[in-house]
Chains A and B, each alone.
Chain A
Amino acid sequence: MWRIDTSTTAGQVFIGLIVLGFLAFFVGMIPLMQALPPRGRRLLIGAVTFLAGAIFAAEFFLPVDKKGENWLSPAIEPAQSTLQIINALALGLGTYGLMRLHLRNIVQKRAQWGYSVVLILAFLAMGFFSVWNTLAEKGELPKTGFLNKGFGLLFDNMYIPLDAAMFSLIAFYIFSAAYRAFRIRSIEASILMFTAMTVMIGIVMLGNIISYSWLGLPVEQTPEMEKNPFSPANIAYNLALPRVAYWILQVLNAPVQRAIEFGVGIGGLAMAIRLWLSLERGVT
C-alpha cells in the first residue's frame, strides 16, 4: 500500500509528482508560517507534531497479523527515511554556517585567521576527492591514479591517523583524571580507590598471578565446596582477586547502572509525551 513500483513509467511519474507536491507544500508553508500569529504558528506545529507521533503510537498499539505487522507498519520505514532527509538538509545548513564563520574570519582578518584558511582548503580538497571517489566507485567517473593518490593521502594518511591521535589522547587524560580521583582525601575517595584497584588488578593477569601463584588459592570449585559454601576452601576460592572483581562488576556495579538506565528511560518517556502533546515549552 505504501510502496510504489518505480520500474514502470507511471510509477516514476507518480513518484516525481509526489516529490514536487511535497516541495511545493514545504515552500508554501514558509509564507504561511510567517503570516500566522505566534499562537497560530504554535497550534500548527503542535498539530503536525501530534499527527507525526500518532502514526508511531498507533502502529505500536494496533493489533498485528501473523507476520507481526499491521496496516501502518509499512509506513514506518518511509517515515524514518523522511527524518534522514531532514537531517541531510540540516547538514547543508551546518556546513553553510561553518563556511560563513571561517570566511568572515579570513575577510576580517580576525585573530588566528590562518587556521580558517587551512580549514577551508581542507574542506574543499576533502570534498572534491570524496565526491570524485564516491562517483568513481559507482562507475560514473574514471578511477585515475591522481584520485587514488589524492584520496589515499587525505583520508588514509591524514584523516585516519589524526582521528586515532585524538582517540589516543584519552589514555593520557584518563591517567590525569584518575590521579585526581584517587587522591585519598576522604573515606569515599579511599573506598573508590580500593575498589578500583581491586577491579583493575582482578581483571588483568596480575590478579591471577597474585591469587593463584603467590597465594595458592583454589582455581576451581569442587563439588565438596559447592555443598559447603562456608567451608574455608570455598571462602578462599571466592576471595581470589578475579572473582572479587567479577563480583564487584556484576553484583554492585551492574544493578546501579541498570537503575540509572531505568531513570533515564522513564525521563525520556515523560519528555517524549510532553513533546508529543506540545506541553513542553523549552525550545519549542
Chain B
Amino acid sequence: MSYQHAADNWFSAIIIGIITMAVLLNIFRAKAGAQLYIRRISGLDAIDEAIGRSTEMGRPVTMIPGLTAFGVVAVQALTIFKYITKQIAKFATPMRLLTADAAVYAVAQEAIHDAYNEAGRPDLYDPDSVRFLSDRQFAFASGVAGLIQRERVAANFMFGEFYAESLIFAETGNIVGAIQIAGTTSFTQVPFFVVACDYTIIGDEFYATSAYLSREPVLLGSMVGQDIAKFIFLLTIAVGTVASTMLGADHPFIKLLGMPGGWDAFWRHVLGGK
C-alpha cells in the first residue's frame, strides 16, 4: 500500500513545518509569560449554568462523545468531560458518560476517576457512571435515548464525532427539557445540533474548548499558533485565486500550491524544462 509522503509535494510539507513551528513557538511564548487573548464563547460559559441547573433539580448530567474512535477528537472530548466532572464533583451531582468505543471507554474511566480525585471527592466516583453501551451506531443511539428518557437528565453535553444519531440524542434531550451543549468536528451534523441544542460549538471552537476552560498557557499558545496557521491558509487561498485567474489552473505555480507532483512541475518550469 502506498501512503502520502512529503516528496509528493514538498510545498505541503513546508506548510506543515511552518504550522508546527508557529504552534510550538507560541506555546513557548505563552509559557514564558506572554499575555494571550481568547474571545468569549457563550456555549462554554453556559457549562456551569447547565451543571447548576442539574444540581438544583437533583437530576443527572449526561456526557456523550458520540461514535468517536480513540484519537485526537476523543482526547479533546474527554478533556472537556474531565473539566465538567470536576465541576460536578463540587456539588455531588450524578453523571453518566456513555461511549460507543471500547478504547474511549477504558480511557474515560481513568479520566473521570482522576477528575473526582483532583476535585478532592474520590468517594463520589462510581465506576458504573462511565458506560460502554454498544459499538453499533443505532444500538448505541437507542441506549443513550433510553437512558436520557428514563433518568430525565437535566443537562446533556455532546462533544466529539457524531453521525446520523446526533439528532436522536439532541431531540430526546429536548423532549425531557435538558439544557444541551454540543460541539462537534463533524460539520454535517452541526445544523442538527444548532436547531436542537441550546448552545453549539462549531468547527475549531471544539479544539479551543480546553484552552478556554483551563486558560493553560500551553493551550492558549497553541490557539495563537492555530490562528497563524489559518492566516497562512487564507494567504495561500488568496494567492491561489488571483494566480489561477491570471495564469490558468494548469500553470505549474498553481500545481505547486497543492497538487501531487506540483513541486517537481514548478521547479522544472523555473529551471526551463530541465
Of A100, A181, A279, which contacts B218 at CB under 8 A?
A279
A–B Cβ pairs within 8 angstroms, 30 of them: A60-B4, A62-B5, A69-B2, A73-B3, A87-B69, A87-B103, A90-B101, A95-B102, A97-B131, A97-B132, A163-B138, A169-B168, A170-B168, A177-B170, A178-B195, A181-B194, A260-B187, A261-B203, A266-B226, A267-B206, A268-B207, A269-B23, A270-B19, A270-B223, A271-B75, A274-B27, A274-B218, A275-B75, A282-B75, A282-B82
* A264 and B206 in contact, given A64-B5, A283-B78 (Cβ under 8 angstroms): yes
B132, closest chain A residue (CB): A94
Interface centre among B131, B132, B141 (most CB of A within 10 A): B132
In the complex, chain B residues whose CB is within 8 Å of the CB of A284 = 75
In the complex, chain B residues whose CB is within 8 Å of the CB of A177 = 167, 170-171, 174, 192, 195-196
Cα-based distance from A279 to B208 in the complex (angstroms): 15
Q: Check if B156 is an interface residue, CB within 8 A of chain A.
A: no
Q: Check if A273 is an interface residue, CB within 8 A of chain B.
A: yes
Q: Check if B87 is an interface residue, CB within 8 A of chain A.
A: no
Q: Check if B274 is an interface residue, CB within 8 A of chain A.
A: no
B138, closest chain A residue (CB): A166
Identify the B interface with A (CB < 8 A): 1-7, 13, 16, 19-20, 23-24, 27, 69-70, 72-73, 75-76, 78-79, 82, 99, 101-103, 105-107, 109-111, 114, 127-128, 130-133, 135-139, 141-142, 150, 164, 167-168, 170-171, 174, 185, 187, 190, 192, 194-196, 202-204, 206-208, 210, 216, 218-219, 222-223, 225-226, 229-230, 233
| Main SS at interface, chain B | helix
What's the A-B contact tally at a CB cutoff of 8 Å?
194
Q: Check if A281 is an interface residue, CB within 8 A of chain B.
A: yes
Query: Apart from A181-B194, A279-B27, what are 18 other A-B pairs with CB-CB below 8 Å?
Result: A60-B4, A87-B101, A95-B102, A97-B109, A162-B142, A166-B138, A170-B167, A170-B168, A174-B167, A180-B195, A263-B203, A266-B204, A274-B222, A275-B72, A281-B216, A283-B78, A283-B107, A283-B110
Cα-based distance from A251 to B132 in the complex (angstroms): 42
Q: Check if A19 is an interface residue, CB within 8 A of chain B.
A: no
B207, closest chain A residue (CB): A267
- CB contacts under 8 Å to B, within A66-80, are 67-70, 73, 76-77
In the complex, chain B residues whose CB is within 8 Å of the CB of A146 = none
A101 to B131, Cβ gap below 8 A?
Answer: yes
